[in-house]
Amino acid sequence: MKKKLGRCGRRTGIAGIRIVGALMFAGWMMAAGAGEAPGAGCDRACLYGFLDRYLDAMKAHDPSRLAWASKARYTENNVALVPGDGVWATARGFGDFRVRFADPQTGGVGFYGIVQEADAASPFALRLKILAGRVAEAETIIARPAEAGVPFVNTDRKPIPALEEMLPPAERSSRARMIALADGYFGTLERNDGHLHTEFDPQCNRTEDGFQTTNHPGTRYGFIMALGCADQFRLGFYRFDDRVRDRRFLVVDEERGIIMAAGFIDHSGRLDRYRLTDGRTVEANIRHPNSLCLLEAFRIRDGKIEQVEAVFTSVPYRMPSPWVSAGFHYE
């Protein structure tokens, strides 16, 4: 009985901490938003301003510098937290590599960069939603080298021209088309049957946790990284990826041609060796139950994917998403 009471006592303590944190957060929101009238909208410059202030506040470990919506939500690596916790308490600065894009239609703004903490520099992705002049949603994935669950994590980044420029109007795609192409990419990954369900630019490249995983010969990670985006999928190489679930398409920047999506790649670990479409036999890269939680951006030019920028980290197998309101669906 004493042991049970002790465990209950610890739970009560944790619950108390959460309550205090929630009350502190409510106080921050009231202080930050006092006297500010809700805005009618937020254009690209406005959204970038929120992003810059958010990063400055995170570096200062001070969420009260921001105006938060009354029911604001914040997650870090797929766990709901109170702003001020997690990387808010540990960020020391940000690297030179920065990619940002905005969606004034929905109030979304996305960012890819490098965050410096005491023990490591890590690729990270950030997504904000701004409503009525306040931060309503904040979602972060940080690929800390000790936790990411992939062998390659690179923070020595150079600018990627395809992620920097505005597209000429003739090369832009509609919002619906961009979502369809990104969803088709995930469908191609999930099926792993050698058929493409999206469109790729012949020069398409992909970067995962800061490491270029296409058109990159000579790495120690095998022949597959010497191939381009389409050729990797035509081989059916990613059969160990069982499904891409809880897909959400969050920030659609038609002028930049960039769309940010969220989701999970689930691995059952059942697959050991398998045959590629060219007859070669290979071993699965992941052979244990595992899920990768991701924020992935696609640069789309003239109706084709030309650049993929992904940040993902390992989470428990089939971990549910706090952002999916209908709850977790086990299939």
Q: Where are the domains of the chain?
A: 2-142, 161-315
Question: Would you call 35 helix, strand, or coil by DSSP?
Answer: coil
> Is the pLDDT score of 39 beyond 50?
no
Kindly indicate whether the domain formed by 2-142 is annotated with CATH number 3.10.450.50.
Answer: yes
Query: Who contacts 272 (Cβ-Cβ below 8 Å, separation ≥6)?
Result: 283, 284, 287
Residue with tokens 């202030």: 53
At 26 the pLDDT is: 45
> Is the pLDDT score of 34 beyond 50?
no
Question: Are 12 and 20 a contacting pair, CB within 8 Å?
Answer: no
> Is the pLDDT score of 9 beyond 90?
no
Query: Who contacts 90 (Cβ-Cβ below 8 Å, separation ≥6)?
Result: 117, 118
Q: Tell me the two tokens of residue 317.
A: 């197998």
> Is the pLDDT score of 175 beyond 50?
yes
Q: Tell me the two tokens of residue 171.
A: 């090369």
Q: For the domain made up of 161-315, give the CATH fold.
A: Nuclear Transport Factor 2; Chain: A, (3.10.450)
CA distance linking residue 145 with residue 154, whole number of Å: 9
CA distance linking residue 303 with residue 194, whole number of Å: 21
The reply to whether 2-142 and 161-315 are identical in fold is yes
At 38 the pLDDT is: 37
Sequence-distant contacts of 70-73: CB under 8 A, at least 24 apart: 70/29, 71/136, 72/29, 72/134, 72/135, 72/136, 72/137, 72/138, 73/136, 73/137, 73/138, 73/322, 73/323
Neighbours of 164 (CB within 10 A): 12
Neighbours of 278 (CB within 10 A): 9
> Is the pLDDT score of 188 beyond 70?
yes
At 325 the pLDDT is: 64
Segment 227-237 mean pLDDT: 98
SS3 per residue for 189-255 = HHHCCCCCCCCEEEEEEEEECCEECCCCCCCCCCHHHHCCHHHHHHCCCCCCCCEEEEEEEEEEECC
* The Cα angle at residue 263 between residues 191 and 253, in degrees rounded to 5: 105
- 237-291 pLDDT per residue, tens: 999 999 999 999 999 999 999 999 999 999 999 999 999 999 999 999 999 999 9
At 201 the pLDDT is: 98
Question: Are 151 and 119 a contacting pair, CB within 8 Å?
Answer: no
- Bridge partners (DSSP) of residue 137 are 73, 129
Give the rounded percent of residues in the chain with a pLDDT score beyond 70: 86
Sign of CA dihedral 264, 268, 271, 272: positive
